Amino acid sequence: MVGLTACKNICVIDDGITDEEHTKILRLLTGSLWRYGWPYPYAPLDRPCWHSFIAGTRRNELEDCEQELRERPDWAFLANIWARIKAAHMPSATLLGVYANGQTSSQDGPIHRDNTAEAPGQTVMLFCSEYWATCWGGELVFYDADKESIVLSVQPKPRRIVIFNGEVPHGARAPGVSCNRLRMSIAFKTLIRE
């Protein structure tokens, strides 16, 4: 892992996965079964995105899904990526869910938090697109607690990993109209009880 950038509660790692791992992810997401309309339910003005479930069938029960991920024949290699990240950045984390998100033009994600003070955790976002031009947008944007100012904006560069405190408000911007590709990412959602 090289190209580390960090600020309070947010860490950006360039080349966080190998070329071989990236190639496997691209192969699987290209042939993946994508479902439109996530998150569900959504409000009338929300712009839902594309979603592909990977692991975390017992997320509502707060059960660790690392073993479930290891048992997925196609996706088991993600458990090794998770193990590296966990060991380096959050050794006491419980992995609750893993899924892929896809966005096309006009599918801005809502500003939200993944965790609360009562259920703290970190999120790992892995950008998976084969190529991404800066002019296509699609940034992962982090906001202050009041959701009024941008704290950091991260381009969805392929093989980039972003690790952040799930209590930080954030949202994924949609790709621009000129983008002819799906903005793909894999999210690892956690719970950390120390």
8-23: average pLDDT: 95
State residue 35's pLDDT score: 83
With a cut of 70, say whether residue 5 has pLDDT above it: no
Cα–Cα distance, 138 to 153 (Å, whole number): 10
Question: What is the share, in percent, of the chain residues with pLDDT greater than 70?
Answer: 92
Beta strand extents in 78-118 (DSSP E only)? 93-103
State residue 6's pLDDT score: 60
With a cut of 60, say whether residue 2 has pLDDT above it: no
With a cut of 70, say whether residue 25 has pLDDT above it: yes
The CATH code belonging to domain 10-39+46-129+139-182 is 2.60.120.620
Cα–Cα distance, 179 to 176 (Å, whole number): 6
Question: What is the share, in percent, of the chain residues with pLDDT greater than 90?
Answer: 78
With a cut of 60, say whether residue 94 has pLDDT above it: yes
Cα–Cα distance, 166 to 90 (Å, whole number): 13
State residue 47's pLDDT score: 61
With a cut of 80, say whether residue 131 has pLDDT above it: yes
Q: Judge contact between 26 and 74, C-beta under 8 A.
A: no
Tens digits of per-residue pLDDT, 146-192? 999 999 999 999 999 999 999 999 999 999 999 999 999 999 999 99
* Strands 122-127, 49-55: pairing kind: unpaired
With a cut of 90, say whether residue 84 has pLDDT above it: yes
Tens digits of per-residue pLDDT, 34-52? 888 766 666 655 667 888 9
Segments making up each domain of the chain, as ranges: 10-39+46-129+139-182
Tell me what the pLDDT averaged over the chain comes to.
91
Cα–Cα distance, 186 to 55 (Å, whole number): 11
Tens digits of per-residue pLDDT, 60-76? 898 999 999 999 999 99
